[in-house]
Amino acid sequence: MHRVASLHFTLSVLSSAVVYDQLSTLPAPVLHTFGLQFFPTAVHDQLVAKPLPTSLFASSCPSISDLQLDGVELQSPLDIPDFLTPAKSLTLDYGNERTVFPMDVMEKFAGLRRLTIRGSNLFLPKEPTARRFTAWSELVFLELQCPAYVCDVLLESDALQAIPYLVVSGSSAFRCPGFMSHLRGDLVLRCSSRRSSGEITTTLRSAKTGHERTLRTSFAHFAAAHGPTPGIVSYCPDYSGYNSVLGMIAVANRVVSCEVSADIWHVFSDALMSLPRCSSLTFVLDDRRSLTRYMAPAPVLPCPALERVVLKASCERVTVRMPELARLLKSALPPSEKRRLVLENVDLEGDMKLLRGVVDIRSTSRQW
C-alpha cells in the first residue's frame, strides 16, 4: 500500500469483512482517494457493511483527500475513524436505509470543502438550529440527494445558501428566494439529459459571481406512438421540478446564454415562455442519432436578442443532414437572418440554402 494513491472497491456486502481484514495491517502513506461501495447480492443479505474499523490502514492514512462510502453502516453520531477525517472531499451514500441526516458531518470533518450526501430515506429528527450550520459555510460544493422536505429545510439556512456550488435533487429549493439570492446579475443556463441514469440536469450560473445552482429531476419513458417518429422511445421529465426553475419569469429575463441537449428541447421550450435577453443558444448533440429521431413537437421560443446559434457534438464528431437541422431551427426559433451559426465538432451534409430565414448562412463558422 505504500505506493497506492487511489483505491476503490465495488463488491458484495458479503466481502466487506475480508476487505476490512486485508486492509487493517497495511499503512497507506500516499493514499489520497479511497472509495468503498458494498451492495447486497441476495434478498437475505445484510443491506450494508459494518462501520469502518479503526484498524483500517493500520490507523495511518495521512494523505487522504477524497473519501467515498456507499453501502457502509454510518451510525449517528458519525462513526468514521479519526485518521480519515482530514479528507477535503466526502461522499456518503445511505441508499434506502432509514436513518438520521448526518448533521454532525462538518464537526467531524473540519477541513471539508466538497460534500455529497445521498439517501432516499434520510430524515431530520427535529428542526435543526442555524448554529448547527455555521461550519457548512466553509464548503465550496454541496450535493444533496435526499427527500425533498429534508433539502428544503436545510436550504433555508444562510450558511448553505452561501455555498458557491449547490446541487439538489427533486427539491423545491429553486422557489426559495434565499437559495436564488446568491445568483446575482446575468445568468448562464444549461440543461442536459443523461439516459443512463434517467435524469435531466438544470444548472444556473451567475455570470457575476460564478456561483451555480443545479437541479436534477428524473424523467419517465413513454412510447411516442403519435410523435414525429412512431415507435421511438422518447423521454418526458417530471415537470414539478422543472417548472420550478424554468417557469420563473425573473430567471428567464436574466439568462444571457443557454445550452440545452437537443433531445429535451421540446421540454425546455415548453417550460419557458421566452428568453428576451439570451444572445447565444447552443444545441448539444449527445450521440450520433439523427436530429429527427429525438426531436418532438415544441412551441417556438422567442429570443429577440439572439445573435448566435451553436450546434455542438458532446462526444465524437457528428454529421447532420441539412433538412433535419433546418427543421429543428425553424421549429424552435422565430424567423431571422441576423443570427450566426457556429458548428463545434459537427459536419453538415446538404444545401445550406435550407437554413435561410433562420440564420445568416454567410456567417457560418466551424470550431474544432
Model confidence pLDDT, tens digit, residues 211-267: 999 888 765 432 232 233 333 333 334 444 444 555 566 788 899 999 988 877 777
Q: What is the pLDDT of residue 37?
A: 95
Between 294 and 260, whose confidence is greater? Answer: 260
SS3 283: strand
Please compute the mean of the pLDDT values over residues 151-160 and round it to a whole number. 85
Distance CA 348, CA 313 (A): 12
Q: What is the pLDDT of residue 184?
A: 86
Q: Is residue 31 part of a domain?
A: no
- Render pLDDT for 37-84 as a digit per residue (tens, 0 to 9): 998 877 666 678 899 999 999 999 999 999 999 999 988 888 899 999
Q: Which residues of 143-165 are buried (b: 16+ CB within 10 A; e: fewer)?
A: bbbbbeebbbebbbbebbbebeb
Is residue 206 within 8 A of residue 185, CB to CB? The reply is: yes
How many CA within 13 A on the CB side of residue 117?
A: 23
Confidence (pTM): 0.84
Is residue 198 within 8 A of residue 234, CB to CB? The reply is: no
Give the residue numbers spanning the domain of 213. Answer: 185-368
Mean pLDDT computed over every residue of the chain: 81
Q: Is residue 65 part of a domain?
A: no
Q: Is residue 243 part of a domain?
A: yes
Number of continuous H segments (helices) and E segments (strands) in the chain: 10, 20
Q: Which residues of 5-38 are buried (b: 16+ CB within 10 A; e: fewer)?
A: eeeeeebebeebeeebeebeeeebeebbbbebbb
Whose cell is 422518447? That residue is 234
**Total domain count for the chain?**
1
Q: Is residue 82 part of a domain?
A: no
Q: Is residue 75 part of a domain?
A: no
Q: Is residue 96 part of a domain?
A: no
Confidence of residue 359 (pLDDT cuts 50, 70, 90): confident
Residue 147 C-alpha from the chain's centroid: 16
Distance CA 16, CA 45 (A): 12
pLDDT for 86 beyond 60: yes
Q: Is residue 100 part of a domain?
A: no
What residues pair up with 187 in beta bridges, in sequence order? 206, 255
Distance CA 136, CA 129 (A): 13
Burial (CB count within 10 angstroms: exposed 0-12, middle 13-18, buried 19+), residue 243: middle
